Amino acid sequence: MLMLAIIGCIVSLILALILTPLVKKLAVKIGAVDVPNARKVHTRIMPRLGGLAIYLAFILAMFAVLPFVAEHFSMRDSNFIKAFLLGGTLIVLIGALDDRFELSAKVKLLGQIIAACVVVFGFDIKVDFVNIPFADNYSSLENWISIPLTIIWIIGVTNAINLIDGLDGLAAGVSGIAIGTILVMSLLMGNMMVAMLCLLLLGAIVGFLYFNFHPAKIFMGDTGSLFLGFCLAMLSLLGFKQIAIISFITPLIIIGVPLSDTFFAIVRRWMQKKPIFAPDKGHLHHCLREIGFSHRQSVLIVYGIAAFFGVLAVIQSSAAMYEANWVTFVVICVMMFFLQIGAEIIGLVGKTKRPILNLIARLRMKVSENRHN
């Protein structure tokens, strides 16, 4: 089955290479283009809607492979795939309409809520279990907790990917690294359904990145960022299994880059007394450009951070399998330390908001004074 999934990954990659130029022509023809403004890095009109190529490559590869692997899936796996495909299709439709007509934030949010509700109420996919990712044993949660938690999770992760889509290849690459992390975990734990979905998505993403990495020939637009965010939300849902705080750590680490960037954006806007949803140029990629890194360097640095989070997620998840909770504690501490230090160095919250760095500087001064005395 793994070999079939790998073949599907190759098929998905080839389809993305073929479909992306066609989608580019379609985007220009129907007017789904991105016009430069004060917040954007690019200086010329660019076709968007590129996420449609990712979606189509994934779907076509899925239907090519599914007849050969469907017999290996349980009823629950099949139900999840149906929810994944239908919810993803609704998200792509919302994103495509936004790329062409620039929908209001309220309309997009309503569409995302509908897609999340289809997943939850139509297919009974929800966070009703908490344990180690992809394990078999799980304990139920009450619906009044699990239903809103699932809807909030899907909408939150979907939009987190959308927020980091600010440089050529950034959102696609970060999503690919996160999906690659889930792929590694699923293979280690023997969940071939998740591995297959990850491989098909990775093929489509890599094929699209050929045209999307700097200098980009096409943007993925909301069609791509919302779809990849939805995919990550759905795949990481499978990480909620065991009633303990550890249960929520693994999926949070996997998508640590977009979630932390979103968190710091909210804190930054709150401290600056700006609306939480007001756009700005204070995101991670903007800050890296501002301190002197080139477009490509900024993207590669964020890739590196995302890979670092991925390694932490695999370590934490593997430790959780053997109930080595102290490893989880260490991983959380390491992650929080580097998040805070990194945010202060590049100014994610503000140029003057550096409590840890200021504390370190004061301690160094005191040590220096003591030596002189």
Tens digit of each residue's pLDDT (9 = 90 or more) over 207-217:
999 999 988 99
- Integer-rounded Cα Rg, in Å, for the chain is 21
The whole model's pTM is what? 0.84
Q: How much is the average pLDDT of 342-359? A: 71
pLDDT, residue 339, reads 76
Question: Does 9 have pLDDT greater than 90?
Answer: yes
pLDDT of residue 135: 45
166, 41 Cβ separation under 8 angstroms: yes
Q: Is 101 left (phi over 0), alpha (psi -120 to 50) or beta?
A: alpha
pLDDT value for 97: 96
Q: Where are the alpha helices (DSSP H) in the chain?
A: 2-30, 51-69, 75-101, 105-117, 123, 143-163, 170-189, 192-212, 221-237, 249-254, 256-271, 284-290, 295-321, 325-346, 355-372
Most confident of 128-137, 143-152, 268-277, 319-328: 143-152
Mean pLDDT of 221-249: 73
- Rounded to the nearest 5 degrees, what angle is found at the Cα of 261, between the Cα atoms of 258 and 267? 140
Least confident of 35-44, 62-71, 183-192, 246-255: 35-44
pLDDT of residue 141: 64
Residue 143, pLDDT > 60, answer: yes
> Which pLDDT band holds residue 86 (cuts at 50, 70, 90)?
very high
Mean pLDDT over residues 29-38, rounded? 81
Which among 174, 171, 169, 271 has a CA at the least distance from the CA of 214?
169
Q: What is the pLDDT of residue 345?
A: 76
pLDDT at 148 over 80: yes
Q: What is the pLDDT of residue 241?
A: 44
> Residue 230: its pLDDT value, please?
96
Predicted confidence band at 352 (pLDDT cuts at 50, 70, 90)?
low
Residue 138 has pLDDT above 90, yes or no: no
**pLDDT, position 253:** 81
Average pLDDT of the chain, as a whole number: 83
Element (H, E) at 46: strand 46-47
User: What's 312's DSSP letter?
Assistant: H
Both tokens of 262, joined, read 């979103």
The predicted pLDDT at position 280 comes to 66
pLDDT above 70 as % of the chain: 84
Which pair of tokens denotes residue 340? 């805070």
Close Cβ partners of 327 (under 8 Å, ≥ 6 residues apart): 315, 316, 319, 320
pLDDT value, residue 325: 60
Lowest-confidence range among 111-115, 265-269, 292-296?
A: 265-269
